[in-house]
Structure 1
Amino acid sequence: MNVTNKEYQLLEEKIQTLSEQWTNLLEQETVTILEQRSTLKAFPAFSQLQLQIDIEQYRSFILELFSLLKEYQSDLDEALERLEMEITDEVLVQWIKEAIAVNDVYFESFAEKHRVAEWIPFFVAEHPLRPFLQKAAAEMTEELHKAEAQGCCPACGEAPRVAIINKKGKKEITCPRCHYAWEVKKISCAHCGSEEAGKIEILRVEKDDSSEIHVCHDCQGYTKVIDVRKFIQVEAISMLDLKTIHLDIIAQENGFGLVEVKEVH
């Protein structure tokens, strides 16, 4: 079962390909500062750090995304051309800050001010930022392992909504945004940490032995769990997240949702 629009899924696949190209361009770059990492005391980490993001490179990624969106969604041409005129260095610096923080209020206000659809500014600011976040997470794996990752990704703060069962049979929360991953107990809540018997329930989907939903009756949170050992070819976590959106719908129809992220010290 897959409830995502096929055209939208194709577009996301194209964006994923583009993102992988951007990631390759950053292979030799360093995004984090060692001195800042060594004194890190709070998580999510990225909101505490000054990431070294090249503005011109970020701008070029955004413009490439604009071109792709125009190709697949021509009705966005006018809005994207309007935004293209607004992405000064000052705006891009602000976009980086607000996209890392997922500041919906800022981006909704930006959309209203520039007369574009509410979703567009955050979408075009955040997707080209992901390769930088993924590079940063890869650079600071050692520091992130020390964090007590409960309720959010310790790197970028994303809610722990997706986990995989890895080749070792371990449950591994994997962030679709920055790709940081960490192992957790199989029967536990990734949001509140509950392991109490009877509090964690597993919802299964008929005729699908590779996916299930772990829901928590303490905090009403949920995590989609995908057994990638059953796949011949494993897709990027962002695509697995997209293609299992029906699991989100099932969880939400049963009264579960994503829990508000809190800072961890």
Structure 2
Amino acid sequence: MSKFDILEELQEFQEKIVELQEKWKLEIAPFKINFDQAEIDAGAPILELAELELDISQTQRWIMELIDFVIGFKPSLKWRFINIPDLLTNENIMEWLGKSLITDRKYFKHFAEEHGIEEWIPLFLAESTFHPLLQLIAETAQPEVDRMNIIENCPVCFEPIRMATLDGGGKKVIQCPRCYAHWHAKHLQCSHCGNEDHITIHFLTIEGVPAMQIQVCEQCKCYIKILDTKQFITKLSVTLLDLSSIRLDIIAQDKGYFSIREKKVIH
């Protein structure tokens, strides 16, 4: 199977998961967000300020629906999920929620090792299941996000910035593919370090693909993808936009740019 066939299958797989998530999203109970400005100024992601009441039985059902879908899509994966239903205890699900919202990969790696399952499975199940909740938090927080001056990370879920689209007027809109929060940004500004020097910020293009470009910064050596979705034939979710533009990540990284800014250690 070629890389393009794999990417096409992965995109189809993700499209089906998005359909499931849209259905689950309608079942989530209302919640409030305590917009504590002191907490926000201190760097707390907005998702940590949400007052949530998780319905455990509902979440267990969602996870089982997801497993059934995965096995139906790829029957060869069935044996990898055999022991998962026994692990869906109230305690584990509550812990999965907290750890997935902050993307604690070390926790999920340890959980997988402890229970003898493949490392990707618990994080995949948790992230996919709680993604609709994350979206709703972002939708509720959007008016607050619109007032913020944002660099480097999504203020809702703290996902590193990596993608933008162009609005109807051609202005750059940063899109978080994890929670779907979005906000306007300056055209000539690095979203990682805030650099606005037009000499050290430039754009890489792909021949024959005018709807996609890469903005790179020579000061911090980071990049973001910029997509002109008005030129797309099919309207895609932000998650699928990120996935379908993965070739831009490959090109940028092959040229020595990074999607996350390196933190300098001061001695």
Question: Normalization by structure 2: what TM-score?
Answer: 0.89
Quote how far apart the aligned CAs of 1:50 are: 4.4
Structure 1 gaps of 5+ residues are none
Quote how far apart the aligned CAs of 1:55 are: 2.5
Give the whole-Å Cα distance in 1 for the aligned partners of 2:5 and 2:195.
Answer: 31
Q: Relative to structure 1, is the Cα distance of residues 226 and 2 closer, same or farther in structure 2, using a 3 angstrom cutoff?
A: farther
Give the whole-Å Cα distance in 1 for the aligned partners of 2:35 and 2:252.
Answer: 42
Aligned to 1:15: 17
Contact 1:151 1:159 in 2 (8 A): yes
1:233-255 per-residue CA deviation (whole Å, 9 max, x = no partner) reads 32101001111111110011011
Give the whole-Å Cα distance in 2 for the aligned partners of 1:256 and 1:97.
Answer: 32
Aligned to 1:115: 116
Q: Relative to structure 1, is the Cα distance of residues 86 and 220 closer, same or farther in structure 2, using a 3 angstrom cutoff?
A: same
Give the whole-Å Cα distance in 2 for the aligned partners of 1:39 and 1:212.
Answer: 36
Give the whole-Å Cα distance in 1 for the aligned partners of 2:150 and 2:56.
Answer: 30
Contact 1:203 1:213 in 2 (8 A): yes
Quote how far apart the aligned CAs of 1:34 are: 4.0
Letter in 2 for 1:31: F
Quote how far apart the aligned CAs of 1:4 are: 4.6
Letter in 2 for 1:17: E
Aligned to 1:251: 252
Q: Work out whether 1:215 is the aligned partner of 2:216.
A: yes
Contact 1:204 1:211 in 2 (8 A): yes
Aligned residue for 2:215, secondary structure, equals: strand
Quote how far apart the aligned CAs of 1:72 are: 1.4
Worse-matched range after superposition: 58-67 or 175-184? 58-67
Q: Relative to structure 1, is the Cα distance of residues 167 and 35 closer, same or farther in structure 2, using a 3 angstrom cutoff?
A: closer
Quote how far apart the aligned CAs of 1:100 are: 0.9
Letter in 2 for 1:7: E
Letter in 1 for 2:217: C
Contact 1:22 1:131 in 2 (8 A): yes
Contact 1:4 1:245 in 2 (8 A): no
Give the whole-Å Cα distance in 1 for the aligned partners of 2:199 and 2:17.
Answer: 41
Give the whole-Å Cα distance in 1 for the aligned partners of 2:216 and 2:38.
Answer: 35
Give the whole-Å Cα distance in 2 for the aligned partners of 1:3 and 1:216.
Answer: 32
2:7 to 5, 8, 18: 5
Aligned residue for 2:87, secondary structure, equals: coil
Give the whole-Å Cα distance in 1 for the aligned partners of 2:115 and 2:8.
Answer: 29
Q: Relative to structure 1, is the Cα distance of residues 125 and 260 closer, same or farther in structure 2, using a 3 angstrom cutoff?
A: farther
Q: Work out whether 1:187 is the aligned partner of 2:197.
A: no
Give the whole-Å Cα distance in 2 for the aligned partners of 1:3 and 1:221.
Answer: 29
Letter in 2 for 1:25: E
Question: Normalization by structure 1: what TM-score?
Answer: 0.90
Letter in 1 for 2:22: E
**What is the root-mean-square deviation of aligned Cα atoms in Å?**
2.2
Contact 2:34 2:51 in 1 (8 A): no
Letter in 2 for 1:255: G
Q: Size of the alignment, in residue pairs?
A: 260
Contact 1:4 1:242 in 2 (8 A): no
Over the matched positions of the two proteins, sequence identity in percent amounts to 32
